Amino acid sequence: MTEGEELFERRISREDLLKLAAAAGGAGLLAGRAGAANAALERLAKETGRLQVLDWAGYGNDGGQAMFAQYVKTHPLNKPKFTYMGNEADALAKIHAGLKPDLFRPYVGWVKYFATSGLVQPWDTKLISNFKNLNPFMVKAGQYQGKQYGIPDDWGFDAILYRSDKVKPKAKSWSLLFDERYKGKIAWFDDIEMLTIAGLYLGFKNTWNQTDDQLKRSQKLLISKKHLVRTNWSSETDLWQLFGSGEVWIAYAWPNDWVQMKKKGLKVVYMHPKEKPIAWVGMFMLLKGSSRPNLSHAYVDAWSSAKSAKWLEDNYGYGHANTVARPSSSDLLRALQLTNPRAVTEPNAYLDRDIPRRALYAKMWEQVKAS
Amino acid sequence: MRRRRGRLDLTTPTLLGLPVAWLVVFFIVPIAIVAAYSFDVYSLFPGKHGFTLAAWREFIHSSVYLALFWKSVKMSLIVSAIIVVLAYPLAYYLALSGTKRKYVLLLVLIAPFLTSYLLRVLAWKVILGNEGVINTFLFWTGLRSPGHPISQLLYSRFAVMLVLGYIWLPFVALPIFVSLESLDRRLLEAASDLGASRLQAFRRVTLPLSLPGIMAAFLFVFIPTLGEFITPSLVGGANGYMYGNQIVDLFGTGFPDWETGSVLAIFLFGVVTVLTVVFARFLQPRQVTAG
Amino acid sequence: MDVALSRNGRIALRALFVLVVLFLYLPIAILLIFSFNKSELPSFPLSGFTLHWYHQFLTNADLRAALQTSAIIAAISSIGAVVLGVLASVALTRRRIKGRAAVSALLLSPLVIPYVVFGISLLLLFHTIGIPRMILTVVIGHIVISLPYTILVLVPRLEQIDVSLEEAAYDLGASRLRTFRSITLPLILPAVVSAFLIAFTTSFDEYAVASFVVGTRATFPIYLYSALRFPNQLPQVIAVAVVVITLSLIVVVAAEVGRRAAERRLGALES
């Protein structure tokens, strides 16, 4: 806190100094004074301490080291310190509880929410050298009112994972999550997204902004099918445990879950339903009041490099917004449509987006769990 | 002998002041805040607020919450009834069989309760899973073929009730033991002298006299399990979801639905308070202390 | 003839007792077995003996931090609960109180509140006052929870002690404080220690309330709870579980045995 205040005061002095120099007139004077002042203040205003990162499990020192290895090399004194977020709502709760991260990573559906929340500030894309290689469509998705609030990085889909040796779906559809034949073998995701999926299945035009009536129908569907569900998973490792031990044969899942289950030797299929899967893009966001904005930009730059991108695609089965990167496996390439720059949008998928009535969706989902 | 009675009374506020104040500030007041929150008299989030029964009305009219409460009541009732019935003979054996080491054995019985709750739940998670101890043991001994485990052991209502029963069983033996121990043996002897068989003596003398202990035991397990959320979240899956889980979820998200959560919490609190007051006479401190 | 139990009845009940005790300790024994098991997954058949998991958890910094946090919270809250408990118990047993039933009820009421409700109420309280959630807030909550237990241990002991000893000292001119320090306190010391240990183990193991008011640090139960979701952490957690359960069993037994022995000795002194 004090750090930030000190920084703030120094910035003011720098501006005052520049104004003084300009007022005194003379380009030389300006250049000389400002240059010297800049240099001096730059040294004083150096960001210190470890970079506080709030990220999902698997992206910190618990396996994601390759993603920010470049950053650690160039900034050994400001190594990142991780706190884990279970999901965006959890991150929000942690920030409210007093956690002060420098940056965190919500997903594309929350860009508008956080941009208007007053909790984040836009990035200075000039400070990110790899920015030019990022998928322009995803870059646009991270903007709000022209400012770049989110830097896209990983992307993937929400779709259905199932055991091909145990399950024969009747159709390539979200209906598999509601299939009566597999009672007790299905896992849903513990999130309001289940309402969105119900809406897709029921054919609503804008499932992210359903009318009261539509929401009631979605909720009714979920409640009526709840008896088929073994459990609602909230962290991927839960899902891997359930799937791996055979407790569950069908689940809402992300591409990395498919990769991990294949690694375990299970016969699994990652199905893109005909009603279209939902696509997501991870967005780095910079918190307002962060005392390490430059370090944060450097961290994001490392994450956005082609090297990190390739590692992500090879190891986590997710796409990366860096269009220059290519994973080693062409199987994976094809399966995840990594060469398709518009993979995350129609006609391939629906990009996840802001939910204006999130509180109501949240309430409805809690009621589904309670039924 | 001089008795300085006057001065004796002055110190009582000093002695009681601190503990009572602590409880008022950190127990009574917080609950009052929750109640105020449920009526929207008070809120931590911006927006229009004022006294309203809206949240309560929705709680009662929406079929969801009360049904969930009733589900939890049923689960708690079953668990409590079963383990009280199971604990009674254990306490009876300790108290009335004249065994010399009754306190030692009582300690042996109670000790697991005094170790970690979470760790004992963990043990069951390890035991009940598809690839857990029970199932892999069955595979290993050939009683079931691999690939056909008994799936419904874990992540089910059954799992929740089994684990809760396991957790609380040691504890409920205690009040029953205390009330049986304080039984005057001579009553039983008198009954026998009057020609009663053991069964009759039990039914007419022992059982009624130990009733306070039984009631205390039942309440000591029923009330906490009613609000349980830890065990259901670890072994309950979607089906074993209980009332306490809904409260936690409503408060746990970063999203303000604390109003509904407060309503649920106060309702639970109200039910528990009513139960406690109605059965107060069974919940004497004497029921819990032993030896 | 034994009126309470026939010979067959006794055999049957003894068998039941043994079975139940086996049932109670079996899961703990299973944890013990698998803590030495080579495989990461706790399943049959066993795959070999190893001390690796014990080694691993000893070098796990996060786990050590959580244990430390829990120990600090437990120590402070137990002291607080015992101090308040002594004050309350002395008042309840040695003084005339108006509305004694109401006061007792208030002091013991935390026993019957579901922790989920209490945790939330503290969460709201601290949000209202504006105190950030941290170790202190957990300590406060744990003192409330442990207070009834300390009272339940101290009151019987205070009632057991012969009051005339205190009255004698008092009449000889000792102040109330002096009387307490020299006469009462030594006599109730075993119970005080017992109360402290009960409060300590209660706090150390407490998850529900702590999860609401701890903020961003982890206590041991909170660490355990999140570790239960990561299968690669499971073997370490099992090893820790075995250690903690064994230690608490030893502490509980030692405390109870010690308390009885001390009280017996003090009882001999009293007469």
d(CA A170, CA A318): 27
Q: In chain B, whose CA is at the least distance from the CA of C221?
A: B118
The helix or strand, by DSSP H or E, that contains position A53, with its residue range, turns out to be: strand A51-55
Instruction: Supply the CATH number for residue B145's domain.
Output: 1.10.3720.10
DSSP state of C231: G
Question: How many cross-chain Cβ pairs, A to B, lie less than 8 Å apart?
Answer: 70
Quick one: pLDDT band at residue B254, thresholds 50, 70, 90? low
Q: How far C60 CA sits from the closest chain A CA (Å)? A: 13
pLDDT at B289: 46
Task: Report the number of distinct structural domains present in chain B.
Answer: 1
**Chain C stretch 105-144, residues whose beta carbon is closer than 8 A to a beta carbon of chain B:** 105-110, 112-118, 120-125, 127-128, 140-141, 143-144
Contact check, Cβ <8 Å, B115/C244: yes
Average pLDDT over residues B134-151: 79
Quick one: pLDDT band at residue C88, thresholds 50, 70, 90? very high
Contact check, Cβ <8 Å, C216/A97: yes
d(CA B31, CA A370): 23
**Chain B stretch 113-132, residues whose beta carbon is closer than 8 A to a beta carbon of chain C:** 114-120, 122-127, 131-132
Is it the case that residue A41 has pLDDT exceeding 70?
no
Question: pLDDT: is A34 or C191 the higher one?
Answer: C191
Quick one: pLDDT band at residue B291, thresholds 50, 70, 90? very low
Q: In chain A, whose CA is at the least distance from the CA of C228?
A: A238
When mean pLDDT is compared across A71-80, A119-128, A201-210, B97-106, the lowest value belongs to B97-106
3-class state of residue B35 by DSSP: helix
Contact check, Cβ <8 Å, A237/C229: yes
Is it the case that residue A26 has pLDDT exceeding 50?
no
Prediction ipTM score: 0.85
Residue B109 near residue B170 (C-beta atoms within 8 A): yes
Which amino acid, C176? R
Question: pLDDT: is A12 or C58 the higher one?
Answer: C58
pLDDT at C78: 96
pLDDT at A324: 83
Which of A304, A312, A308, A309 has its CA nearest to residue A259? A312
Which amino acid, A298? A
d(CA A153, CA A312): 10
Count of beta carbons in the 10 Å neighbourhood of residue C61: 7
B152-210 confidence digits (pLDDT tens): 788 889 999 999 999 999 989 988 998 888 888 888 888 888 888 888 888 888 888 88
> Does B10 fall in a domain?
no
- Neighboring chains of A (3 or more beta-carbon pairs < 8 A): B, C
Contact check, Cβ <8 Å, A371/B254: no
Average pLDDT over residues A16-38: 42
Residues of B in contact with A188 (CB under 8 A): 238
- List own/partner pairs for A67-72 with CB under 8 A and 24 or more apart: A67/A302, A67/A303, A67/A308, A67/A311, A67/A312, A68/A299, A68/A302, A68/A303, A68/A308, A69/A302, A69/A308, A70/A301, A70/A302, A70/A305, A70/A307, A70/A308, A71/A298, A71/A299, A71/A301, A71/A302, A71/A303
Residues of B in contact with A245 (CB under 8 A): 129-131
The whole-angstrom distance between residue A40's C-alpha and the CA centroid of its chain comes to 38
By a Cβ cutoff of 8 Å, what residues of chain A touch chain C? 57, 83, 94, 97-99, 235, 237-238, 240-241, 244
Residue A97 near residue C217 (C-beta atoms within 8 A): no
Q: Do A51-151+280-328 and A156-278+353-370 come out as alike in CATH topology?
A: yes
pLDDT at A18: 40
Contact check, Cβ <8 Å, C229/A235: yes
pLDDT at B8: 47
Quick one: pLDDT band at residue C40, thresholds 50, 70, 90? confident
pLDDT at A242: 85
> Does B283 fall in a domain?
yes
pLDDT at C268: 67
pLDDT at B287: 45
Question: pLDDT: is B117 or B49 the higher one?
Answer: B117
- Chain A interface includes B126 (CB < 8 A): no
Average pLDDT over residues C217-231: 80
Residue A199 is encoded by which pair of tokens?
A: 């809406």
Domain of residue B245: give its range.
63-287
Domain C52-270: which topology? MetI-like fold (1.10.3720)
> Does B106 fall in a domain?
yes
d(CA C66, CA C73): 11
Contact check, Cβ <8 Å, A240/C230: no
CB neighbour list of residue A139: distance below 8 Å, 6 or more residues apart: A131, A148, A152, A321
Kindly tell me the burial class for residue B272, based on how many C-beta atoms sit within 10 Å of its own C-beta (0-12, 13-18, 19 or more).
buried
Q: Mutate which of B133, B186, B251 to disrupt the C interface (most C C-beta within 10 Å)?
A: B133
d(CA B190, CA B195): 9
pLDDT at B285: 54
Residue labelled with tokens 């064994």: C246
Residue labelled with tokens 């970063």: B254
Q: Where are the domains of chain A?
A: 2-44, 51-151+280-328, 156-278+353-370
Domain A51-151+280-328: which topology? D-Maltodextrin-Binding Protein; domain 2 (3.40.190)
**Domain at A156-278+353-370: CATH architecture:** 3-Layer(aba) Sandwich (3.40)
Strands A80-84 and A51-55: parallel
C2-12 confidence digits (pLDDT tens): 777 788 888 89
B12-21 confidence digits (pLDDT tens): 777 888 999 9
Is it the case that residue B4 has pLDDT exceeding 60?
no
d(CA A341, CA A136): 9
Q: Mutate which of B116, B140, B210, B269 to disrupt the C interface (most C C-beta within 10 Å)?
A: B116
d(CA C172, CA B21): 33
Give pTM, 2 decimals.
Answer: 0.83
Is it the case that residue A10 has pLDDT exceeding 50?
no
The whole-angstrom distance between residue C48's C-alpha and the CA centroid of its chain comes to 35
Q: How far C64 CA sits from the closest chain A CA (Å)? A: 17
pLDDT at A5: 38
Is it the case that residue C109 has pLDDT exceeding 60?
yes
Is it the case that residue B74 has pLDDT exceeding 70?
yes
pLDDT at C77: 96
Residue A142 near residue A152 (C-beta atoms within 8 A): yes
